[in-house]
A = this chain, B = another copy of it.
Amino acid sequence: MPTERSFADATEVVDRGDGTFGAHIPEGWDIVGNVDGGLLLAVVGRAVTTATGRPDPVTVTAHYLRPGRAGPAVVSTEVLKVGKRFSTARATLHARGSEVITALATVGELEEGVEVLHLDGGPPGLPPLEECELLVGGDGFPPAFMDRVEVRLHPEDTGFIRGAPSGVPQVRGWFRLRGGEPIDGIGLLLAVDAFPPTVFNASFPAAWTPTVELTAHLRARPAPGWLECAFRTRYVTGGFLEVDGEVWDATGALVAQSRQLALVPRG
C-alpha cells in the first residue's frame, strides 16, 4: 500500500482497460508551481510498463509541451510493437484538456548481474553523505519538490546556493527517495531530473532552464541504497544546452544515463 505522498503513490496509475490510465499527481512535487519533469516521466513510464506488461523502461524520451500541475491526469498509450525482448509504445500525459508531455518508450526486462564489457568512467566519487548538503524544500530555492526526495549535493557544487557558483556547470550528489523508499526503474526516471539545473553553477547568469526533451537509458535495476548522480553541461550554444546525467548504484554499477535538451532562458 503506497504511503500518502510516497513516490509509489504519486506515480500510481489506474488501468482503464482501453489503453488509457488514470493518474493523480499530488501536491508538493512541484518546482515553483510546475510539477517536476522527472515525476511526469515516471508516471508515463509506469503507464507504459503496465500497458505492455514488461517490467522495466529501457529507453524513454519525452518532449515537454506544457507545465504540469498537481491534480488528475490521464496517460493515453499505444503499443506500436511487441517483440521477443522489447515492446515499444508511445504515450501522452493529458491534464485539464491539454497534452503536458508526450513520450516514446521501449521497455523490456533489465538483466540481473550486469555484464560489463567496457567502462570508460565511473561513479563521481562523492564525499560521504554527511559531508554533502541536503537540499531542503521551501517557497523559492530549493523548491518544494526537494522535500519529496533526498538530494545531498557535493560540497564543490553548492556554491550557487550562496550566490557563488563554482563556474563549472555541473551538479553531483547523492539521491534517494524520501526515507529510503525503494527505487526501481521507474524511480530512475525521477532521479535523472531531480537535481538543480547545472547552469546554476555556470560562470554566466542563469535561471531555470525549461526542458524541451529528455531521454533516459536504463542499464540495470538499482541495488538498494543511495544513488550517486552526476549531471554536466558541456555546450551552451544557439540558445540551447544539453544536460548529461549518469546514475550509479550502491554496488558501483551504472544504472542510468540521461540527456536533456533545455532552453537557455531569455532575458
Contacts and interface: CB of A to CB of B under 8 A. Distances in A.
Interface stretch (A23-31, A148-156, A254-262): A254-262
Contact of A219 (B58, B119, B237): B237
B102 A235 contact: no
Interface stretch (A7-15, A109-117, A172-180): A109-117
Contacts of A242: 217, 257
Interface string A39-71: 000000000000000000011010101100000
Given A59-B213, A88-B65, A217-B242, A204 B117 contact: yes
Given A58-B261, A80-B99, A106-B212, A118 B220 contact: no
A238 interface: yes
B59 A261 contact: yes
A213 B241 CA distance: 21
A191 interface: no
B234 A120 contact: yes
Instruction: Please list the 10 inter-chain residue pairs (A to B) with the smallest Cβ-Cβ separation, ordered nearest first.
Output: A118-B236, A117-B236, A219-B238, A61-B61, A114-B238, A120-B234, A59-B213, A65-B81, A104-B104, A116-B237
A66 B110 CA distance: 21
Contacts of A117: 202, 204, 236-237, 241, 264
A35 interface: no
Given A80-B99, A259-B259, 18 more contacts: A58-B261, A63-B104, A66-B81, A80-B102, A90-B104, A102-B104, A106-B212, A111-B239, A115-B239, A117-B204, A117-B236, A118-B234, A119-B234, A119-B237, A215-B259, A217-B242, A219-B235, A235-B254
Contacts of A237: 114-119, 219-220, 253-254
B261 A235 contact: no
Nearest to A62: B104
A116 B252 CA distance: 35
